[in-house]
Chains A and B, each alone.
Chain A
Amino acid sequence: MEFKDYYKVMGVARDATEAQIKQAYRKLARKYHPDVSKEKDAEARFKEVGEAYEVLRTPEKRAAYDQLGPNYAAGQEFRPPPDWGAGFETGGSRQGRSSHSDFFDALFGAAGRGGPQQSEDHHAKVMLDLEASLNGGSRTFTLRVPEIDDGHLVLKERVLNVKVPKGILAGQTIRLAGQGASFSEDGKPGDLYIEVDFQPHPLYKADGRDLYLELPVTPWEAALGATVKTPTPGGTVDLKIPPGSRAGAKLRLKGRGIPASPPGDLYVVLQIALPPAADDRAKAAYQAMAAAMPFNPRAQLGV
């Protein structure tokens, strides 16, 4: 496994005070918290920072970590020394953090994970294809769930086949009763709460229950009006483009969005696609257009 330089992750010196470490954590947490950050890899960075903070804020863990000395560089192959952990209390920590790196687990063990959560209800987040909501249907998810194994808390992979309720929206939840963790021998298992989000779709962008589709039209279809074929989640329909349509115009197809209750709408956003002036005939057509209708699209710019 790779050595992790927790000081580097936090951007602090090896002799940083507790106050400096706390300050660095708060700054980085605000920057990378997945609920507020738009940074790329925010989630991975936030986990890394959280793990570093958990070690450096706990005097026992920090002392144990420091014992490794500055002999290792970040990313270097690492194996814990044979006498590792002797004389340090590395168990126990605050709750709620999970999925530490292998490096952390090797140093502080499963006990360092913070013990079992009090709740046997479990929460997961999955990325769903939009079709699952549009049509309903079963999807298979692989979830990492905490389980007690020989008195230790471990993350196990569970493969669940879930019937996705038709019309579910991003941010909504599927509750599976009795599918949570069971931490006691004869205890009733808790529930599993799955929050869904959508993977990007090649045609539609979801915004709540509404869908947006960018539809390319020709200049003459936009100028003269036309009836063109457009995809919708329910199948191809004939769409009437009003004469004089501009690029960016939105045409609303009521009730053709996500089939929630009430169903969302489908907004068709027009894009004007220019045919290339690829040969002499096409060039002549553009020249004829220029001659027939003098038009300055920059008039408003004063030029």
Chain B
Amino acid sequence: MTNTEESTPSPEIFEEYAILSVRDLSRICAVDERHILELVHEGVLNVVDTDSPEWRFTGAALRRARLALRLERDLEINLAGVALALELIEELEQLRRRARHGL
């Protein structure tokens, strides 16, 4: 398996087809489900359809959840701090983009 080239079937873009449950996110991010629920309560992750009995997320939630968990672990900050950091990061990205393209 090592160092030999392996071919993969044609994958699609994860964000475009994936619908994830709390359990999916918890498995892929290697944290317990309670932790994913906390991310939702803190407003870090958005649920696709809040009326549905079981929460569902788009594929884009995976990257956001992983980013939030990295910040929480590496910077030793609580989830409220993570939520704030994420908002500021997004605002910063938007400003940088505007500055770059003179919008």
A residues bordering B, Cβ < 8 Å? 22, 25-26, 29-30, 33, 35-36, 46, 50, 95-96, 117-119, 121, 123, 138, 140, 156-163, 165, 167-168, 171-176, 179, 191, 193, 195, 205, 207, 212, 248, 250, 261, 267, 269
Contact = CB atoms under 8 A, between A and B. Distances in A.
Contacts of A25: 76
B62 A157 contact: no
- Counting chain A CB atoms within 10 Å of each CB, the highest count among B6, B11, B29 belongs to B11
A297 to B, nearest CB: 18
Given A25-B76, A261-B16, 14 more contacts: A29-B74, A30-B75, A33-B70, A33-B74, A36-B89, A96-B73, A157-B3, A162-B8, A165-B12, A165-B13, A167-B13, A168-B13, A174-B13, A193-B14
A35 B67 contact: yes
Contacts of B27: 119, 121
- Counting chain B CB atoms within 10 Å of each CB, the highest count among A22, A35, A161, A168 belongs to A35
B74 A50 contact: yes
B25 to A, nearest CB: 11
Contacts of B101: 207, 212, 250, 267, 269
Interface of B: 1-16, 18, 27-30, 59, 62-63, 66-67, 70-71, 73-76, 85, 89, 97, 100-102
A153 to B, nearest CB: 14
B14 A175 contact: yes
A175 B102 CA distance: 35
B14 A159 contact: no
Contact of A173 (B63, B97, B102): B63
A172 B8 contact: no
A160 B71 CA distance: 29
Contacts of A165: 10-13
Contacts of B30: 95, 117-119, 121
Nearest to A195: B63
Contact of B9 (A95, A140, A163): A163
A25 B77 CA distance: 12
Nearest first, the 5 closest Cβ-Cβ pairs linking A and B are A119-B30, A173-B14, A175-B14, A161-B7, A163-B10
Given A168-B13, A175-B11, A207-B97, A140 B62 contact: no
Nearest to B14: A173
Contacts of B89: 35-36
Nearest to A95: B30
Contacts of A168: 13
